[in-house]
């Protein structure tokens, strides 16, 4: 809404309207009294100077002009009162709009606070579940079972980090994909000090519905590349726009899993998440192992 060049303080328009109406009414009343008094004195028995002046006005034809002036003054007074009344109504309407805008701002602030609290609680609840899984894994004697529970805990921690990034952002619908990918790859590289992990990410933003599946996809692909690439693995991760699509690529110098091997939980999760956000996945083994995930650019902003 355009802000007026001059906005009167509340109550000023009402006061000015009442003052102008009083002045107009007083002026009109005085003119009528003077006119009636002049006519009465001119027609009475004691006709003096005022009667002579009034008779002169009648004889010289000035009375119609006096009447026209009186009507014009009355019309001007009425128009002034109407204009000021309109200004008063506009002021009241602006006050209602200001109150409505303030109420809307309060509602939006409360909504942002509520959403931030929800994401914060989700992150905390995820951490509670991870702690329970760790306690359960500590009671298992089978190393394979402990590794499986540890992998589940890592995924839950990742989901919690996504929610933490969302409620820490200025806008809930804009999560910085490049920043999250770089941060998460840095955490994975610390677990494999001998490996080389390179990240090339264009500035992309997306909402939570895309951020969670995309983060899980990247986590599983990079983890698999580090696992199958050996201690000195060289992994390249990139995400960029290509026309109307966005390409997430994870490449390494290893051979990847055997073609006839049963897909593990990680690869099954990747296929599930890619299908959830309407993407397509390609795997190539030329000059190393490379996985390409094609997504619609409409998911990003």
- Bridge partners (DSSP) of residue 238 are 200, 249
Span 240-252, average pLDDT: 92
- The lowest-confidence range among 46-60, 183-197, 262-276, 287-301 is 46-60
**The domain 175-301 is classified under which CATH number: 1.10.600.10, 2.30.42.10, 3.30.565.10, 3.40.50.2000?**
3.30.565.10
What is the C-alpha end-to-end distance of the chain, expressed in Å? 27
Q: Scan for tokens 């296929």, then name that residue.
A: 271
Look at residue 245 and tell me whether its pLDDT is greater than 50.
yes
Q: What is the pTM of this model?
A: 0.59
Mean of pLDDT over the chain: 76
Taking only the tens place, the pLDDT of each residue in 18-34 is 555 555 555 556 555 55
Mark out the alpha helices in 192-255 (DSSP H runs).
208-228
**How many alpha carbons lie under 13 Å from residue 50 in its C-beta half-sphere?**
13
Count, in order, helices (H) and strands (E) of the chain: 7, 7
Taking only the tens place, the pLDDT of each residue in 147-175 is 888 888 888 888 887 777 776 666 656 78
- The lowest-confidence range among 189-193, 255-259, 288-292, 295-299 is 255-259
- The lowest-confidence range among 63-77, 98-112, 247-261, 284-298 is 63-77
Look at residue 224 and tell me whether its pLDDT is greater than 90.
no
DSSP letter (8 states) at residue 263 = P
Structure tokens at 47: 């006709």
Selected residue with higher pLDDT from 87 and 136: 136
Give the model's confidence band at 278: pLDDT under 50 very low, under 70 low, under 90 confident, else very high. very high
The helix-helix angle for 49-60 and 12-43 (nearest 10°) equals 100
Look at residue 196 and tell me whether its pLDDT is greater than 50.
yes
């Amino acid at each position: 809404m355009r802000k007026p060049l001059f906005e009167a303080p509340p109550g000023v328009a009402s006061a000015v309207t009442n003052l102008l109406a009083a002045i107009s009414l007083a002026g009109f009343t005085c003119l009528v009294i003077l006119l009636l008094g002049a006519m009465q004195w001119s027609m009475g028995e004691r006709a003096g100077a005022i009667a002579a002046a009034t008779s002169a006005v009648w004889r010289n034809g000035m009375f119609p002009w006096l009447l026209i002036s009186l009507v014009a003054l009355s019309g001007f007074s009425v128009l002034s009162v109407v204009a000021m009344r309109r200004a008063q109504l506009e002021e009241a309407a602006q006050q209602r709009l200001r109150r409505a805008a303030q109420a809307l701002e309060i509602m939006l602030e409360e909504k942002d606070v509520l959403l931030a609290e929800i994401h914060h609680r989700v992150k905390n609840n995820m951490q509670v579940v991870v702690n329970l899984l760790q306690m359960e894994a500590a009671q298992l004697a089978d190393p394979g079972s402990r590794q499986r529970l540890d992998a589940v805990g890592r995924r839950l921690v990742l989901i919690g980090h996504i929610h933490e990034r969302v409620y820490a952002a200025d806008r809930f619908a804009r999560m910085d994909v490049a920043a999250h990918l770089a941060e998460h790859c840095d955490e994975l590289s610390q677990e494999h000090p001998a490996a080389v992990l390179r990240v090339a990410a264009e500035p992309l933003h997306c909402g939570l519905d895309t951020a969670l599946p995309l983060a899980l996809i990247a986590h599983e692909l990079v983890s698999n590349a580090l696992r199958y690439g050996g201690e000195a693995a060289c992994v390249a991760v990139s995400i960029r726009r290509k026309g109307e699509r966005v390409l997430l690529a994870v490449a390494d110098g290893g051979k990847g899993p055997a073609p006839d091997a049963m897909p593990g939980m990680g690869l099954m999760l990747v296929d599930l998440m890619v299908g959830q956000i309407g993407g397509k996945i390609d795997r190539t083994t030329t000059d190393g192992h490379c996985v390409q995930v094609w997504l619609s650019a409409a998911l990003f902003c």
